[in-house]
A and B are shown apart, each in its own frame.
Chain A
Amino acid sequence: DTEVTQTPKHLVMGMTNKKSLKCEQHMGHRAMYWYKQKAKKPPELMFVYSYEKLSINESVPSRFSPECPNSSLLNLHLHALQPEDSALYLCASSLLRKGTQYFGPGTRLTVL
């Protein structure tokens, strides 16, 4: 299995809602990533997990809360988001010490 899956594909939420994005991979990768991508812009790194531990947090607001329950799963919990948080959220994984990252199809998030 060489695929990274993300659910849901689309999400619309209000500013007072709590929702979660889910990412899963079964390639045995021990590094997993969350990126945020605005339209016509490159992906921007948010978080990196290595061996289920948070290793990089790119000064992301606390309304985004990542979680890595096990080596195959990565969640992003959302709470009290702002309309400017609307974007495509991409998950990726990689073998540690290897540069290639494998991306999921993304979740298109709209905050009303």
Chain B
Amino acid sequence: SQQGEEDPQALSIQEGENATMNCSYKTSINNLQWYRQNSGRGLVHLILIRSNEREKHSGRLRVTLDTSKKSSSLLITASRAADTASYFCATDANQGAQKLVFGQGTRLTINP
């Protein structure tokens, strides 16, 4: 079963708008990661936030982590058509950093 659950399942916005995706998980974690996947391709690592961090930025990406609520959010600002992809959160299970459990993903569509 998937530890991470994401919402919304699908999101469609206009280019230039901000996109926010949420992820919830069930057990304690060492870190939480976000990955992007273009259709039918491999996953690309976007950002990793550790359990003792609350917020992290990378370019147009902003990730927050609330361990008390077991949730995280990914904000993409000033969206571009190239941001169209599926976004997955992934948490490491208790067996250590080797095993990632992925959320169901959010399919993001940026309309020109």
Contact residues of A with B, CB < 8 Å? 4, 6, 31, 33, 40-45, 48, 50, 55-56, 88, 90, 92, 94, 96-106, 108
Distance (Å) between the CB of B65 and the closest chain A CB?
A: 13
- B: interface residue count bin: 20 to 34
Residues from chain A with a CB closer than 8 A to the CB of B101 are 45
The answer to whether B99 touches A103, judged by C-beta atoms less than 8 angstroms apart, is no
| Given known A43-B102, A56-B95, contact A103–B2 (CB-CB < 8 A) | no
Among B2, B41, B42, B96, chain A packs the most CB atoms within 10 A around the CB of: B42
| Given known A56-B95, A100-B33, contact A42–B44 (CB-CB < 8 A) | no
Q: Whose C-beta in chain B lies nearest to the C-beta of A56?
A: B99
| Given known A90-B43, A104-B42, contact A48–B98 (CB-CB < 8 A) | yes
Distance (Å) between the CB of B8 and the closest chain A CB?
A: 14
Selected contact of A45 from candidates B48, B96, B99, B105, CB within 8 Å: B99
Residues from chain A with a CB closer than 8 A to the CB of B95 are 56
The answer to whether B104 touches A100, judged by C-beta atoms less than 8 angstroms apart, is no
| Given known A42-B102, A42-B105, A43-B102, contact A99–B42 (CB-CB < 8 A) | no
